[in-house]
Structure 1
Amino acid sequence: MQPAPPAPAAFHAPGPLRGTVRVPGDKSISHRALMLSALAVGTSRIEGLLDGEDVLATAAAMRAMGAECVREGDGRWMVHGVGVGGLLQPAAALDMGNSGTSTRLLMGVVASHPITATFTGDASLSGRPMGRVIEPLARMGADITASPGGRLPLMVRGLCPAVPIEYRLPVASAQVKSAVLLAGLNTPGLTRVIEPVATRDHSERMLRGFGAELTVEEDGTATRIITIRGEAELRPQEIAVPGDPSSAAFPAVAACLVPGSDVLVEHVGLNPTRAGLFAALQAMGADLSFENAREIGGEPVADIRVRGSALSGFANDPRDVASMVDEYPILFVAAALARGRSVFTGLEELRVKESDRIAVMAQGLAAIGARVEETADGLIVEGTGGDRLAGGATVAARLDHRIAMSFAVAGLVSHAPVIIDDMAPVATSFPGFEALMTTLGAERRQLAPA
């Protein structure tokens, strides 16, 4: 997968943001829908699948291992699965692009199949450690050869039958949990994952929907015990993917920050393990409400209305990090415009995302006039009380889609242009981001030639 050439850009808001929009399908659910459809026996159909580069990397990998994955003319996807245990040896390396989710979950799938797969990725993904996934999958019998530091490129030689394990997550991670559960699908007996803090539960919901025998127990604390019975036979499904709350975060925060705005974001997934950003905005005083609440395919969905708001400082609860881990960059932008101090702690996980999101956001926000202090596990942000940021700087996105979109929103509430050095990575999760923001009234600034 060839990297796109750098695409610098800057955005501003000549007036309030107004309108009704939909964001792309949920990325986490889209990945899982493709994988489980490929492991079912028969044909599944998926509506609303995210067409971003990360999800397309998953579709390409499933094709390479024998499943038929076709995007039809109306935008729906048809997947003809090969069944659990039926994946074929890929003829070439699986190029995961920038997708950590694809890589970690597919490592779990391959780990209990009698095949060998090599995983490669772009420069950003190749710098991200995979040790958290390697350790439990190796305990199940997979032979994994990684580059130094447990990084890509790496090779997974699956074992069939694999060894069922009971695995306690050392840190909360939905991706590690899901990798072990997916490996457990083709492993005889019971595979069990114990998580100390509840993480996003899309895998559990969807595995049950496809017919896997899976139970979830709670011990009276935050601990959850997820057990799956292996040698499963998955049934094909009709899946409707809700809008991605991580993508909805950007127009929602933009509407909060630009005075006079009134924006409705339709059809957003509000799984309680993913909706922490919206609760945080409400705690900061955002004029944010949920309309037309319903359930689609076992996932709660609603429309989110957001109006221009005077925000106050916020101190996060580290126990809630898992419910909004991908939304902290844009929440840092909101904090920079709030009244008073915001203190963010317990965010060590952000240092091993597509970039070190704590350091990159601290550097970028400081460059455009925000008052920030980086700590070992978070940020301290002194807000402007609603006054615009100075702007007037070029910030480095570091190949990170969420960093790029966060500073695009910051540019809407800055005096001088905030130039993002490369908006190309946004295509991994939100290929229509610029068009959506333009629909609401934002404009792309004209940049002087380099």
Structure 2
Amino acid sequence: MSSAPMPIPPPGPHGGGAPSPATARVSPALSGRVRAPGDKSVSHRALILGALAHGETAITGLLEGEDVLNTAKACAQLGAVVERTGNGAWRVRGVGVGGFRAPAAPLDFGNSGTGARLMMGAVAGNPIAATFDGDASLRKRPMRRVLDPLTQMGVAVLETAEGGRLPLRLQGLADLAAFSYETPVPSAQVKSAVLLAGLAARGTTLVREREATRDHTEAMLRHFGAEIAVAPFGAHGREITLAGRPVLRGAPVVVPSDPSSAAFPLVAALIVPGSDIVIADMMMNPLRIGLVTTLIEMGARIEILDQRTEGGETVADLRVRHSALRGVVVPAERAPAMIDEYPVLAAAAACAEGTTIMHGLAELRVKESDRLAAVADGLAACGVRHAVEGDDLLVEGGPVRGGGPVATHMDHRIAMAFLVLGLASRDGVRVDDTAFIATSFPAFLPMMRGLGADIA
């Protein structure tokens, strides 16, 4: 690998281009060994905390999808030196907490709610104004849940679109007030934005969540030298305390394989007869493997091999074989550990015997699309019996007819989930656009074809 710096690759277009439809047809048995791309959540946080640290942060295994590249570009606009040194290898020289400079142009996060919301927290503790924007899909997503706690800490919202949506302009403050906050919804993004703002605050910032959400921010803050403590809160939640104004130091980050991306080849192998694959280096953080837990309850043959620790995260190889799945009830408290995987779980449920009931999916309504409605519409297009009852989804399994076109609503996970379903459907499944898959999984189509999937 060359050590010479390379420019940040430009993200692909995020809106307005010609659609790229695709059709997945009934597939022969899948086989092979694959590694899903680097975890998106860890990739965003590695770049942002590298930019907030003093010294150099070397990152390996970074996800080079559009969402993460937009975060890398934003870090550079704010004054950090961000260089790509090889395939998935990056170097960030940070400016320290409170050291961001005012960007000369809007920070454009494309389709990434994670990038936008986390960076609002990171910018909050700097005496600068910055404009945040994104594509048509991101402009529809709620930002008030982040703006509310940040304004309580002293951040000023100078401009905003109707309903507190993008585009919006924030004025940060070098002397933020630390405070105690209980998140109104289980959201790792809201929690993380408050903690990142708390780095620049006087005193100790405390965040309580009644349902534990993914804890990558807490782990990485500790890795970079912050003083942070985590304690139980209530039956399923946690209380996080962060001492303000630490001196963060650059630290190496190894990004593990993303379980949300690995979910697609994993479910494909379960529902395509005769399949036997290995997924390498998958993150096994307990707050990220709700899908694996659920699938095993459904009867999935998933063998966990060589479990180990890499870069502060538990990883393992998974052997996955075709399985006779059965319907189960998925409790609401499991949602934070698998919130991005419900679309592909719906594909697995469609191929299972009996009915799968998924409780507590309110958060799906405010993702890249209204994912609950998009999943229901896609199931209807494929002839799968289902029902939405409040925030619950019921899917009746059985032979899947397939069909389409499935409207993806500019949502990468909807596109991938229904292409997976097409591999086990009588008539295949056609989706209306695959362009947005590049936001999180640029190699999805070639990887699936390499396993033997028939996707045209």
Q: The TM-score by the shorter chain falls in which range?
A: over 0.9
Q: CA deviation at 1:417?
A: 3.1
- Partner of residue 100, structure 2: 87
Asked if 1:230 corresponds to 2:244, the answer is yes
SS of 1:406's equivalent in the other structure is helix
1:319 aligns with one of 309, 315, 333? 333
Please, which of 45, 63, 66 is the counterpart of residue 79 of structure 2? 66
Q: How does 1:200-215 map to 2 (within 5 A)?
A: 200-215=214-229
Q: What SS does structure 1 have at the residue aligned with 2:441?
A: coil
Checking the alignment, whether the CA contact within 8 Å between 2:110 and 2:138 is kept in structure 1 is: yes
Q: Deviations over 1:200-254 (max 9, x none)?
A: 0000000000000111112463231101111111111111100000000000000
Counting only pairs closer than 5 Å after superposition, residues 141-220 of structure 1 correspond to structure 2 as 141-144=154-157, 145-219=159-233
Alignment correspondent of 1:10: 23
**Which one-letter code corresponds to 1:229 in the other structure?**
A
> What TM-score, normalized by structure 1, do the two folds share?
0.97
Q: Which residue number corresponds to residue 34 of structure 2?
A: 21
Q: C-alpha displacement at 1:305, in angstroms?
A: 0.9
- Aligned twin of 1:119: 132
Alpha carbons of structure 1 residues 362 and 227: separation in structure 2 relative to 1, 3 Å: same
For the pair 1:253 / 2:283, whether they are aligned, the reply is no
1: CA distance between counterparts of 2:194 and 2:300? Answer: 38
Match of 1:394 among 375, 391, 405: 405
In structure 2, give the amino acid aligned to 1:130: M
Do the aligned residues in 1 keep the contact of 2:27 with 2:272 (CA within 8 Å)? no
**C-alpha separation in 2, matches of 1:14 and 1:333:** 15
Q: Deviations over 1:134-173 (max 9, x none)?
A: 1100000001132111110011110110111100111111
- Distance in 2, Cα, partners of 1:106 & 1:213: 20
Q: How far apart are the structure 2 equivalents of 1:375 and 1:358? A: 11
Question: Residues 43-442 of structure 1 correspond to what in structure 2 (within 5 A)?
Answer: 43-144=56-157, 145-219=159-233, 221-384=235-398, 387=399, 389-442=400-453
The 3-state SS of whatever aligns with 1:346 is: coil
Question: Using the alignment, how far apart are the partners of 2:34 and 2:259 within structure 1?
Answer: 13
Q: Which residue of structure 2 aligns with residue 448 of structure 1?
A: none
What secondary structure does 1:133 align onto? helix
CA 324–74 in structure 1, closer or farther in 2 if over 3 Å, else same: closer
1:13 CA displacement = 4.3
CA distance in 2, matches of 1:265, 1:223: 30
Residue in 1 that maps onto 2:52:
39
Aligned-partner SS, 2:22: coil
CA distance in 2, matches of 1:14, 1:414: 9
CA distance in 1, matches of 2:26, 2:309: 34
| Counterpart code for 1:125 | L
Q: Distance between the aligned counterparts of 1:195 and 1:14, measured in 2?
A: 43
Q: Are the aligned partners of 2:402 and 2:428 in contact in 1 as well (CA < 8 Å)?
A: yes
Query: What's the CA shift for 1:74?
Result: 4.5
Q: Is the 8 A contact 2:52 2:248 kept in 1?
A: yes
Q: Equivalents in 1 of 2:233, 2:433: separation in Å?
A: 46
| Structure 1 ranges of 4+ moved more than 2 A | 1-5, 219-223
Q: Deviations over 1:254-284 (max 9, x none)?
A: 0000011001000011110000000000000
Contact in 2 for aligned 1:13/1:441 (Cα 8 Å): no
Q: Secondary structure at the match of 2:175?
A: coil
Partners of 2:26 and 2:427 within 8 A in 1? no
The percent identity for this pair of structures is 53
Gaps of 5+ in 1: 446-450
